[in-house]
């Protein structure tokens, strides 16, 4: 599996994939692999799309994604991808969207194991009162991504 480590305004990140993206590591979650990895056409394009997103020039991603997960997790991730740029949904709203209005905790767990954060925008999911809750990259990064999407200063 090819992987590529790179710098972002939020810190180092890394991508993995072959024919499709399978993983994005956020700052603080990178594996200890040493080196920079391999710059394949897919990983180069993914890095460029992320940099465009971070600069405010991109609102949607065009690359093929292949996250490993259960059918339920994949249904949650599909619902996350349907959340428009700059908007948020609650865990309860996502649970209802995937046909399990009482599955709020399961939705939270699917968010927690999302292998492609940002591409699958779990940062757009908030608590029922709008509070920022859990994010693999930390609540500061989650808040910064939401601020970026709302047009507010984030860096």
Q: Which of 4, 106, 122, 136 is catalytic?
A: 122
154 catalytic residue (yes or no): no
DSSP letter for each residue of the chain:
-EEEEEEETTEEEEEEESSSEEEEEPTT------S-B---HHHHHHHHHHHHHHHTS-SS--S-B-----HHHHHHHHHHHTSPTT--EEHHHHHHHTT-TT-HHHHHHHHHT-SSBTTB-GGGEE-TTS-----TT-HHHHHHHHHHHHT----
Q: Any idea which residues carry the catalytic annotation?
A: 122
């Amino acid at each position: 599996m090819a992987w590529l480590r790179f710098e972002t305004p939020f810190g180092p990140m890394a991508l993995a994939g072959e024919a499709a993206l399978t993983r994005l590591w956020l700052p603080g979650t990178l594996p200890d692999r040493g080196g920079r990895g391999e710059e394949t056409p897919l990983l180069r394009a993914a890095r460029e799309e992320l940099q465009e997103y971070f600069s405010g020039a991109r609102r949607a991603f065009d690359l093929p994604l292949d996250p490993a997960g259960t059918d339920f997790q994949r249904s949650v991730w599909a619902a996350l991808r349907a959340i428009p740029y700059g908007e948020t949904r609650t865990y309860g709203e996502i649970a209802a969207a995937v046909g399990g209005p009482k599955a709020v905790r399961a939705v939270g767990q699917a968010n927690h194991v999302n292998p492609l954060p940002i591409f699958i925008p779990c940062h757009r999911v908030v608590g029922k009162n709008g509070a920022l809750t859990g994010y693999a990259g930390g609540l500061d990064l989650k808040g910064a991504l939401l601020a970026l999407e709302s047009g507010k200063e984030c860096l």
